Amino acid sequence: MKKVLYAVLLFSMVYTGAVQASQSHRLKKSSMESTKVTRGNVQIIEATENIRYLSQKLGKEYLFFFLNPENEKTHKDLYASLEMLGKSLRDISMVTKDEDTQDVLEFLAYSKEEISAFLKKKPTRDTAALMLDYSETLLEGADSIGKTYAYDFSKEEKMLVASKNIKYLLERMGKYYMALQLGFDTENNKADLKQAIRDIRVEFARFNVYPYPEKLKKTELLLANILSSDMNIVEQENKYFIPSLLLDSISFFEEKADVLALYHSKNL
């Protein structure tokens, strides 16, 4: 399904830029705009970071919904995440003038509508598999847009991105933890879970070496302890399956991580 959708997107993008001279003109124009509209770049990068996070959060939440289809809170959380996804897509759409970015946005909006459609139905194994595909589609689209508008971050911007990236990685870890336990135990999913764990350790090392004021050092230490507990749950997934505990712990971690994100945001 995912491959077919990407084929449609690829055809659309190639068809739109069929004339080579026109493509060259568009790329030059896009490059000039991206260097000139710095604030626009910042807004788009922020939105793509949100989409990356939400792509994994939606996948994790839907798998938990598949496990507990009568859980009304999870169903509401899914709709809330979907609404935030729509806002991030609109935020990019209002700023970008790049046609390739607009093509990707159109495809991501289509994916969002597909997700919305099967949220109205009782979850099945097929829709759970589709949700795993769509979560990766949203992630790849956000990464594609992010590369178009990337620029050299300052020290505080790097830490702000890291505080968002660690949340994305935790959601990704949670998603694949759920996937493996629910029988979506492909080799790719196993590899992606292991990679997420490695990436979390690398990303969190940034916080360990940052010179936080004393009050925030306590928050950083608390986050380290929560992270250690979460990683232990995931790495022992063959022994026990406690998704509710893990998901609550991830939510608590993200709440505390936002305190560090606010600190770095104020230092920009």
Confidence at residue 187, expressed as pLDDT on a 0 to 100 scale: 97
Confidence at residue 224, expressed as pLDDT on a 0 to 100 scale: 95
Amino acid occupying residue 45: I
Residue 30 has pLDDT above 70, yes or no: no
Task: Identify the sign of the CA torsion 87, 92, 94, 100.
Answer: negative
Task: Identify the sign of the CA torsion 55, 61, 67, 70.
Answer: negative
Confidence at residue 126, expressed as pLDDT on a 0 to 100 scale: 97
The two tokens of residue 229 are 């507990």
For the chain, the average pLDDT equals 88
Confidence at residue 240, expressed as pLDDT on a 0 to 100 scale: 81
Calpha distance 173→192 (Å, rounded): 8
Residue 5 has pLDDT above 90, yes or no: no
The two tokens of residue 44 are 């788009």
Number of helices and strands (H, E) in the chain? 10, 0
Calpha distance 139→104 (Å, rounded): 11
For residue 3, what are the CA distances in angstroms to 184, 186, 258? Answer: 18, 17, 35
Percent of the chain with pLDDT over 70: 86
Confidence at residue 38, expressed as pLDDT on a 0 to 100 scale: 63
Q: In 3D, which of 169, 160, 55, 43 has the Cα closest to residue 94? A: 43
Question: Worst-scoring range by mean pLDDT, 35-49, 65-79, 233-247?
Answer: 35-49
Dump pLDDT digits (tens) for 191-225.
999 999 999 999 999 999 999 999 999 999 999 99
* DSSP string computed for 153-221: PPHHHHHHHHHHHHHHHHHHHHHHHHHHHTT---HHHHHHHHHHHHHHHHHHHHHHHS---HHHHHHHH
Phi first, then psi, for residue 183 (nearest 5°) are 95, 0
Label residue 90 by pLDDT band (50, 70, 90). very high
Calpha distance 235→13 (Å, rounded): 41
Where do the domains of the chain lie, and which CATH numbers do they carry?
33-151 (1.20.120.230), 154-268 (1.20.120)
- Axis crossing angle, helix 20-36 with helix 38-67, rounded to the nearest 10: 100
If DSSP codes are grouped into helix, strand and coil, which group holds residue 241? coil
Residue 62 has pLDDT above 90, yes or no: yes
Label residue 236 by pLDDT band (50, 70, 90). confident
Q: Are 48 and 140 in contact (CB under 8 A)?
A: no
Pinpoint the alpha helices (H) of 18-124. Answer: 20-36, 38-67, 72-95, 99-119
Residue 229 has pLDDT above 60, yes or no: yes
Q: Exposed, middle or buried, 7 (CB in 10 Å: 0-12/13-18/19+)?
A: exposed
Calpha distance 4→15 (Å, rounded): 16
Residue 28 has pLDDT above 80, yes or no: no
Amino acid occupying residue 165: N
Percent of the chain with pLDDT over 90: 79
Question: Worst-scoring range by mean pLDDT, 10-24, 86-100, 146-160?
Answer: 10-24
Residue 1 has pLDDT above 80, yes or no: no
Amino acid occupying residue 264: H
Confidence at residue 41, expressed as pLDDT on a 0 to 100 scale: 85
Q: What predicted TM-score, i.e. pTM, was given to this entire model?
A: 0.85
Question: Worst-scoring range by mean pLDDT, 40-49, 105-114, 177-186?
Answer: 40-49
Dump pLDDT digits (tens) for 96-120.
999 999 999 999 999 999 999 999 9
Residue 72 has pLDDT above 70, yes or no: yes
Residue 97: CB atoms within 10 A of its CB come to: 13
The two tokens of residue 110 are 């289509």
Length of the chain: 268
